[in-house]
Amino acid sequence: MTPIYIVIVDIGSDADRKRLDYLVEKYNEVYGGDKIRKICSGVLLVDLDAAKMIKFTEDIYSRFSKDRVKIWLLREPNFEVQPLELEKVFRIKREYGDIWVLVDFVMNKYHGVLVSETMRGDARTYRVKTRYGNVDVRFEKLLSPNENSGSILKVKVSGYGYGVSYFFNKIVEEFSPLER
């Protein structure tokens, strides 16, 4: 995989912009394809190997002074962000068959979109957009060991950032009054 560089050129005039546009076109013709992409005025993403990048850098320095050009190497971060997952089990005083009616009501209230459902119909996953980000909400209905004690609903909210805890609290507010 070739390295990707970000090149920022301080564009002072329309002539500078045209000079940079010409340079981008020239190198894209020489190396073929979209090796140099202009993100916005004066900002380029360059996908060239080291030897070609040196040639491009020499050419750009010949057209703009070195103090007006900044070049950085972009690379993948060496860390991975894990999603936050919050889980709660509710013992609801409703029949097993009525659980999805309650879940659908709550998810409609928050504009949740059904993403998947298991073949047996015992689990559903919804995607909800909150003002704090998107979250996935998985509902699993489980059989209660005692037939007369209602149903068990396992809820898992997952995603990134504050939206997870925000929506988890909303779910707890909605289902807690229904617990036995």
Topology (CATH level 3) of domain 84-178: Alpha-D-Glucose-1,6-Bisphosphate; Chain A, domain 4 (3.30.530)
* Rounded CA separation 17/25 (Å): 12
Tell me the pLDDT tens digit for each residue of 34-80.
Answer: 889 999 888 999 998 888 999 999 999 999 989 999 999 988 888 88
Q: pLDDT band at 147, cuts 50/70/90? A: low
Class at the top of the CATH hierarchy for domain 4-74: alpha beta
Distances (CA, A) of 114 to 97, 139, 160, 168: 18, 11, 19, 17
Q: Where are the domains of the chain?
A: 4-74, 84-178
- How many C-beta atoms surround the C-beta of residue 138 within 10 A? 17
Q: Calculate the CA dihedral of residues 167, 170, 172, 176 and round it to 10 degrees.
A: -160
Give me the half-sphere count of Cα atoms (radius 13 Å) on the Cβ side of residue 123: 11
Average pLDDT, the chain: 89
